[in-house]
Structure 1
Amino acid sequence: MTETKPLPSGFEDLEISTQIIIRDALARGIKIEIVDRKENFLRLIQGNHSEFVKEASKTRLDSLITYLVMENKIASKLVLNDNGIRVPVGRNYSSFDDAIKDYTFFLDKKKVIKPVTTNFGLGIGISEPGDSLEKYESFLKVAFSLSNSIIIEEFIEGPEYRFLVLGDEVVAVCNRVPANVVGDGKSSVRDLIQKKNEDPRRGEGHKTALEKIQMTEVELQILKDQGLNFDSISELGKQIFLRKNSNISTGGDSLDVTDMVHPDFKSIAVSSAKAAGAVICGIDIISSEIALKPNPKTYGVLEINFNPVLYIHEFPYSGKPRFVGDKILDLLGFK
């Protein structure tokens, strides 16, 4: 396996993606100015050439309107659909009452309920066919608490993959697995979580390669849906999920799959980025057959992400590390 490159000392308080950019810039002799430490805002200087970089992936290469389109899930679905790219079928709502009226429309469907303008998987709920009105309402309340508008769309079965698009190519792909533990036949779920969180790669605040698995009401509800709680002891080898969303920021695992993805999926990811006019972005695709030629019945492009984290590709939970910081420096014209 390819070994990871160590991060520079003195920048541990910055998010880990920013640390990656700093490391690769220093290796090129690029001067680093920290414009705003709390905002992970840098200025990189090489001779007469300078560039601002915020949170590792926000640069002059993408316009404000591109960011706004990517940030707004309704707008991003529109541009994808207009360019013939397969997206989940759904509806969007700007009022709670209108969304409630469609309870029966979605009743027999597995659906995803999500805010329009959040990131890191916050507020996303997955509602099963036949869910009660009360449960449906609870998902709506969470989504509306984070955004003025929400989307309800079909749930497509399969793992979710993050494609990192830089310029005209996909430079890395990882399978993001929701926060989980594996039973050993004797330990409680609580103990399994605590043991998994002892991994030195897990921390908080995007300053480490992975995030700690939390034990909040959200995780407890997911366990209850499986007939479990934090004190339950699961059978040997059984995987227990603690989240429905697959974000690394909520304790998920990143598995590098760059080499196994069918080339046509990489083309779809690049086309999705271009549809939004994006140079640096993350494309989320769900598919049950990622190694095969894309079948519209078994995949969909879920989102275009305007601030893709780099560390999930460089420090995957398992698989080959992908060194992506240098690619961004190349795009910015640094030598």
Structure 2
Amino acid sequence: MTLKIGIARETAPGERRVAVTPETCRKLVAAGAEVHVERGSGAGAHFPDLAYEEAGAVLADGAAAAVADADAVLCVQPPAAAGIAALKEGAVLVGILQPQLDEARGAAIAQRGVVAFPLERLPRTTRAQAMDVLSSQAGMAGYKAVLIAAVLAPRFFPMLTTAAGTIRPSKVLVIGAGVAGLQAIATARRLGAQVEGFDVRPETREQIESLGGRFLDLGVSAAGEGGYARQLTDEERAEQQRRLGEHLRSVDVVVCTAAVPGRPAPRIVTAEMAAGMKPGSVIVDLAAETGGNCELTRRGETVEHAGVVVAGPLDLASQGAQHASEMYARNVLNFVQLLLKDGALAFDWDDELLARTVWPERPAAAG
């Protein structure tokens, strides 16, 4: 029996990405799957229906037709609870699902017996890198954040020598040296800015410096065991905040990227610290969706406080929907290939990538 894979058009506000591109559709078809794609699914990322048809997809009129009786449904954002309830019983659902954040969604998954693979739960191991949607999408977010900062800043980023005199380069500080932060550092450097990077993990110094940035050392180390940051004491945190506040007075642009998966974003830049920055300074907060790293951040808004502009953009990866979709779709394809054997679904629960990603969690085998 042919494996049916369904892709419905994304309906979340601002979402332009798609979970399957014509490139990955062709590979799924070559693996023996029948791929049904709702018409217009790739339009937001500029993948026309004709490209899917040429890749071997069956075009469906409407979401219900695309996912009806599908053995596996691939998505970017999770379907609504009603959409999940309409899936085939026992169907596989793969995407950024976050079932624990929506009680109705989680209940629908459980009640329908859906085998859900929330890709944000994927273990961060070397083998999983080719499937790591959080990293691939964070790269686009970091890139776009710097471009937003460059538009909002009333300054050039690079140093310029002109007939009207020399323009000094903008000084950019990137807080957080994860994938988004490192991409932001690299992008700001390409634009010619003087770039610094700050992270509580001192081992990120080498990564920041390899991209041409300067590691901002505030004299407080959060180095812990196994490469993880430890919790700072109240005294250490207060000293870190004091030194950061003083340093921000000389910074033109701050890009905040610090995030903790499944938890609200850590507050790093207080209102007082932001108000102490030079008039015309800019803060772009990638963590706006989970509360923001800056106390002044307003989700989805750009505000001004004491002459400092604070932007809390949403859906940054979707702003680069074409390349973001290409990366995301390849991540999904690599994961789905773990589920396929001879063109059919097969679950190897001894594979830690499957066992640790599936939701609800499966009890460990006895013995």
Same fold (TM over 0.5): no
- Larger-gyration structure (1/2): 2
Structure with more relative contact order (C-alpha pairs < 8 Å, separation 6 or more): 1
**What is the TM-score with the length of structure 2 in the denominator?**
0.25
Question: If each structure's helix is expressed as a fraction of its own residues, which one has the higher value?
Answer: 2
Normalising by structure 1, we get a TM-score of 0.27
